[in-house]
Amino acid sequence: MDHLAKLENKSIHILREAYSEFDNLAMLWSIGKDSTVMLWLARKAFFGHVPLPLVHIDTSYKIPEMIEHRDRLAREWELDMIYGQNETALEEKNTFPDGNATHLECCRKLKTEALRNTLNGRWRRYRMNHNTGEYELDDSREPFTGVIVGGRADEEGSRSKERYFSARDENNDWDVSDQPPEFWSQYKTDFAPGTHVRIHPILDWTEVDIWEYILREDIPMVSLYFDQGDGTRYRSLGCGPCTKPVESTASTVAEVVEELKTGKFSSVAERAGREQDKEDGGGLESLRREGYM
């Protein structure tokens, strides 16, 4: 069994465990390559179906192609698509692009807080109605007790400490020094009321694994990852104002793989283009403890 097959089997096993053990389960989909691979793995795990809702946190500053890509796949694959956002912060213009917040403060409001309150059902959620193809205010306010996320251990320091199934308490806190043990494919599937569990099916994957798998499976990716003719492409996707494209002429998945393995990016960290990482002293830990993905 080759490297990708091993990773794929493990991820599918984890997705199925999560599906069997959690009643209120959702998958976070950022439209980026990692969570799109994860979504694809769900289709593999459930034989072409995606029997759980997908949640996207829309900061409103996402690059427009991402939202188009999201809605196109949602319709094509009949996904139960939900989005939520920090409507108050956006109305009051308490954001970095409006000049009223630092990178980190902005992330905290538009991502971390929006995520927490979308998952726990305190803020409004919008759900795609497949009859009209449009989003509607969702009546359901039920909190999600299991949340599948696409973190990878190789991204940066704090993520390498994650468990496949990781408990978060009422305040979304993650006690990194006192995590339950995890062995023999047995995960934390029991949780006290008020707490929830984050599930990381692709924890063991690297950036190269992700792209090689996209190539092998022919998974549709948002066009931003490829050079459209101006000699630049995105290596990592986030909000428009805080994510910079890299200089690269890779215009196909195969070229991206080649560039990552032997080209100029083979030894440059993936998140080098993300501003919030730099403010936090090299680690995303403080954001992450509050629930940042």
Kindly list the residues in this chain that would bind other proteins in the complex (CB under 8 A): 1-6, 8-10, 12-13, 16-17, 19-20, 43-49, 51, 78, 153-154, 156-158, 160-161, 163, 176-177, 179-186, 188, 190-192, 203-204, 206, 208-209, 212, 217, 257, 261, 267-269, 281-283, 285
Place of tokens 């936090």: 280
Q: Looking at beta carbons only, is 13 or 127 nearer to other proteins?
A: 13
Q: Looking at beta carbons only, is 163 or 274 nearer to other proteins?
A: 163
Instruction: In angstroms, give the least distance from the CB of 266 to other proteins.
Output: 9
Q: Looking at beta carbons only, is 194 or 231 nearer to other proteins?
A: 194
Which run of H or E residues covers position 57?
Answer: strand 54-57
Q: Looking at beta carbons only, is 135 or 191 nearer to other proteins?
A: 191
152: nearest Cα among 197, 114, 208, 104: 208
Instruction: In angstroms, give the least distance from the CB of 64 to other proteins.
Output: 29
Instruction: In angstroms, give the least distance from the CB of 212 to other proteins.
Output: 6
For residue 254, give Cα distances in angstroms to 38, 76, 231, 268.
20, 25, 16, 19
| Secondary structure (DSSP) of 240-288 | GGGB--EE----SHHHHHHHHHHSTTTTS-GGGGBHHHHHTTT--HHHH
Instruction: In angstroms, give the least distance from the CB of 242 to other proteins.
Output: 20
For residue 213, give Cα distances in angstroms to 205, 208, 209.
10, 8, 6
Instruction: In angstroms, give the least distance from the CB of 112 to other proteins.
Output: 18
Q: Are 103 and 242 in contact (CB under 8 A)?
A: yes
